[in-house]
Chains A and B, each alone.
Chain A
Amino acid sequence: MIAELGHFTLILALGVALVQAVIPLIGAWKGWPGWIAVAVPAAKMQVVLIAAAFAALTFGFVTSDFSLRVVVENSHTLKPMLYKVAGVWGNHEGSMLLWVLILALFGAAAAVFGDGLPPRLLARVLSVQAMIGVAFLAFIVLTSNPFDRVAFPPFDGRDLNPLLQDPGLAFHPPFLYLGYVGLSMAFSFAVAALIEGRVDAAWARWVRPWTLAAWMFLTIGIALGSWWAYYELGWGGFWFWDPVENASFMPWLLAAALLHSAVVVEKRESLKSWTILLAILAFGFSLIGTFIVRSGVITSVHAFANDPERGVFILAILAVFIGGALTLYAARAGSLEARGVFGLVSRESALVINNVLLAVSAFVVFIGTVWPLFAEMFFDRKLSVGPPFFEKAFTPFMVLIAILLPIGAMLPWKRGSLAKTLRPLSGALVLAFALGALAFALQTGRSALAPVGIALGTWLVAGAASELWHRSGRRLARLKRLPRADWGKAASHSGLGIVFIGVSTLMAWNVEDIRVAKVGETFSLGDYDVTLAAVEKKQGPNYMTTMATMEVDLHGEHIATLYPEKRFYPVANMPTTEAAIDNGFLRDVYLVIGDEQKDGGWAVRTYVKPFANWIWAGSILMAIGGLLSLSDRRYRVAAGARRSNAAASPAPAE
């Protein structure tokens, strides 16, 4: 009954979305206030209806209602409650429902916070947002009904893929979707602006927070996925350049570019048509990501309910929205005049370079991702494009970005002088070279990867610190009074630097040991002594486990007792490894237990992974930077002068 209610509210939501897509658009065109006013209540109504459907599906999972097909296929009565709930979006149908729920949430948020927007623009934005909603709601209702019943309900379900039964992965998809779908706001604003034929600073102020939020969620989502891969897959890999990872990385790169170009629109009224194009492309790549994950055209470890028929549907959505938006862009972009005038050495130019590098790097990832498909279609060659390609073709862009970033961030608007800009950065430069050289001296005869990564990372972090110090006029008291956006910028840029250090050192200095160890045996790896103390078989809630007890000593001093496991999930008939990790500031000790050997020993893998946590710490810092910028009061000023004190004081000029 509740499931049918869910199905019903979903269809109602589709109807409301249709109304919201058509009526306000006509209203804005004809100037009929009554029709324009439909947009806001419709957006709110939509989120209520979809939330009801989502709640109905969640109820089905929580109560293990095995008359629902998705519950049978993805749940089990013995599964812990967290994963019963996470199971709602651990499958194709449910995750699409989450997708449209977030889409509606963003639309409703724009409706609620949008009272400062010109009513026509808001009506158009919400109408475009509803068009996307119509497409995906129709997709769910027509091809992927989550409320499908089975004729003969079984006694128990088939369990969620055990790899997904993990806290890191439970929250990975919602964050990714918040990011993907968040970019739909930038898209809707871009299309609405094209319809209006007008892009100005106020528009950019509206687009930036949404893009910032989407980028922040994407950052968290990608970091969660990478962290999960690191501890769950059993050898500490954190990024595989897999098509589905790339599918989330391309929107991230483009969203980062969009954030920066929107700054130029906001501050200097330039780069308008490029910013609009980026907004369309960023969401376009989110749709491409959805297509890649769900159509199965490109083989991937994430293969997830792939079905050609659904693929064609999503491809059609993609073609209509991106094709439509680009056509509109081609017709209207010429009318967007640029206003700002600036010299070759200026913040504007630096941000243009930033956009060139980010957009081209996204293009490299794109071509590498789709090349196997192209090669097979047009040249009849079955080939693979994997990590070695991306490491060679993509990394140079990141190196260039890192070199230029602190300088560009420091340049003044309009016109600047390189010599003047570089002076406050000299300390950061010296420090970067010094630490790079130190790393080079410490390692003997290994690749330049780690020293270069450390030097670039230090340059970014120290550069961001120097910039803050410079902006405060070298006074500690004024440091606190700097706008939050300045702090956010510094935090995000240093976060990137920390990721650089983590990635490069982890890749260059990872130490590995694979061996057969008998119970009671001690072996050493670098300065560490590891003892396999015991191996026991145990029973978990919905799995069986082989758990080892391992002691780790450093210079004869006991530092940790770790319990790596090998689990077997009988319902899904799948083994998983649970690595045991001693997390540290400078290194992780990473232990994995494998199969029992014929002579009675156990296969054991031991890794010392330097700076591993820096990757995720850096990612979190980047996201925090986004949050800080988002909380800057300039946005609250832009959000419609609801607070008089905020409105009274003008935004600080930079």
Chain B
Amino acid sequence: MKRILLILFLAAAPALAVQPDEILSDPALEARARDISAVLRCPVCQGETIDDSNAPVARDLRLVVRERLVAGDSDDEVIDYVVDRFGEFVLFEPEARGANIILWFAGPAMLLIAMGGAAIYLRRRGSAAEPAPAPLNDDEARRLREILKE
């Protein structure tokens, strides 16, 4: 129960995630910081970005992101910096390397398979001869008469 309360608490207080005092004076840098924050996951929360989260560690990460940007890092360098310290768990967009290639290619591969199956099916339906409808059985014939009578 405590754990649930904790989870709910963390989920409950995302408002005012980015505090006014964190914002950089350079709007271009700040915009980059926001974009980066939107793909980094808060390590202690349940599926929130550091941009949305109100947890202290999220705030620390937001400050780190801004520090690195001010120091002149590129976006990728900032993300790598955070990933080096917290692991790939913080990446909301999993990198397409190793087993993750399966993840990224599963959709397109499935689409190809499905399209192939559909194409075979459609060609077959196009060339098939329409079978004669099966004759009604007694029950059905009776029901048909009933319906037509009304």
Interface string of B23-50 (1 = CB under 8 A from A): 1000000000000001101000011110
Decide: B89 and A383 in contact? CB cutoff 8 A: yes
In the complex, chain B residues 115-136 whose Cβ is within 8 Å of any chain A Cβ: 115, 118, 121-123, 125-126, 128-131, 133
Q: Is A342 an interface residue (CB 8 A)?
A: yes
Q: Which of B19, B122, B128, B130 contacts A603 (CB 8 A)?
A: B19
In the complex, chain A residues 349-369 whose Cβ is within 8 Å of any chain B Cβ: 349, 352-353, 356-357, 359-361, 363-364, 367-368
Decide: B16 and A118 in contact? CB cutoff 8 A: no
Q: Is A267 an interface residue (CB 8 A)?
A: no
* A388/B93 contact (C-beta < 8 A), A235-B14, A341-B128, A647-B147 known: yes
Residues on B with C-beta less than 8 A from A371 are 94, 100, 103
- Which residue of A has the minimal Cβ distance to B127? A341
Q: Which of B15, B41, B87, B111 contacts A592 (CB 8 A)?
A: B15
Complex Cα gap A386–B150 (Å)? 58
Q: Which of B39, B46, B104, B123 contacts A300 (CB 8 A)?
A: B46
Decide: A339 and B118 in contact? CB cutoff 8 A: no
Bin chain B's interface residue count.
35 or more
Decide: A386 and B126 in contact? CB cutoff 8 A: no
Decide: A386 and B93 in contact? CB cutoff 8 A: yes
Decide: B99 and A379 in contact? CB cutoff 8 A: yes
Decide: A514 and B52 in contact? CB cutoff 8 A: no
Residues on B with C-beta less than 8 A from A381 are 88, 98-99
Q: Is B58 an interface residue (CB 8 A)?
A: no
Decide: A383 and B93 in contact? CB cutoff 8 A: no
Residues on B with C-beta less than 8 A from A399 are none
Residues on B with C-beta less than 8 A from A163 are 8, 11-12
Q: B20, B87, B147 — which one has the most chain A CB atoms within 10 A of its CB?
A: B20
Q: Is A653 an interface residue (CB 8 A)?
A: no
Q: Which of B118, B128, B146 contacts A641 (CB 8 A)?
A: B146
Complex Cα gap A567–B46 (Å)? 22
Decide: A384 and B94 in contact? CB cutoff 8 A: yes
Residues on B with C-beta less than 8 A from A344 are 122-123, 126
Residues on B with C-beta less than 8 A from A392 are 93
Residues on A with C-beta less than 8 A from B115 are 356
Q: Is B106 an interface residue (CB 8 A)?
A: yes
Interface string of A206-237 (1 = CB under 8 A from B): 00000000000000000000000000011101
Residues on B with C-beta less than 8 A from A234 are 14-16
Complex Cα gap A576–B17 (Å)? 13
- Which residue of A has the minimal Cβ distance to B51? A235
Residues on B with C-beta less than 8 A from A576 are 12-13
Decide: A356 and B16 in contact? CB cutoff 8 A: no
Residues on A with C-beta less than 8 A from B130 are 339-341
Bin chain A's interface residue count.
35 or more
Decide: B20 and A515 in contact? CB cutoff 8 A: yes
Q: Which of B41, B111, B126 contacts A343 (CB 8 A)?
A: B126
Q: Measured between C-beta atoms, what is the minimum distance from A340 to chain B in Å?
A: 7
Decide: A363 and B110 in contact? CB cutoff 8 A: yes
Interface string of A294-318 (1 = CB under 8 A from B): 0000011101111000000000000
Decide: B92 and A363 in contact? CB cutoff 8 A: no
Residues on A with C-beta less than 8 A from B19 are 514, 594, 603
Interface string of A32-59 (1 = CB under 8 A from B): 0000000000000000000000000000
Residues on B with C-beta less than 8 A from A237 are 52
Q: Is B76 an interface residue (CB 8 A)?
A: no
Complex Cα gap A641–B47 (Å)? 52
Q: Measured between C-beta atoms, what is the minimum distance from A193 to chain B in Å?
A: 16
Q: Is B84 an interface residue (CB 8 A)?
A: no
Q: Is B139 an interface residue (CB 8 A)?
A: yes
User: Which residues does A use to contact B, with CB under 8 Å?
Assistant: 73, 118, 161-163, 233-235, 237, 240, 242-243, 270, 299-301, 303-306, 337-344, 348-349, 352-353, 356-357, 359-361, 363-364, 367-368, 371, 375, 378-379, 381-389, 392-394, 397, 514-516, 566, 573-577, 592, 594-595, 597, 603, 605, 641, 644, 647-648
- Chain A to chain B contacts (Cβ below 8 Å), 22 pairs: A163-B8, A233-B15, A234-B15, A243-B47, A339-B131, A341-B126, A343-B126, A344-B122, A353-B118, A371-B103, A379-B99, A382-B89, A384-B47, A386-B49, A388-B38, A389-B94, A389-B103, A394-B107, A397-B107, A514-B16, A577-B16, A647-B147
Top 7 closest A-B pairs, CB basis?
A386-B92, A234-B15, A388-B93, A594-B16, A577-B15, A364-B107, A644-B150
Q: A300-B46, A367-B103, A393-B107 are in contact. List 11 more A-B contacts (CB 8 A).
A: A337-B131, A339-B133, A340-B125, A353-B118, A356-B111, A386-B47, A386-B49, A393-B104, A515-B20, A574-B8, A641-B147
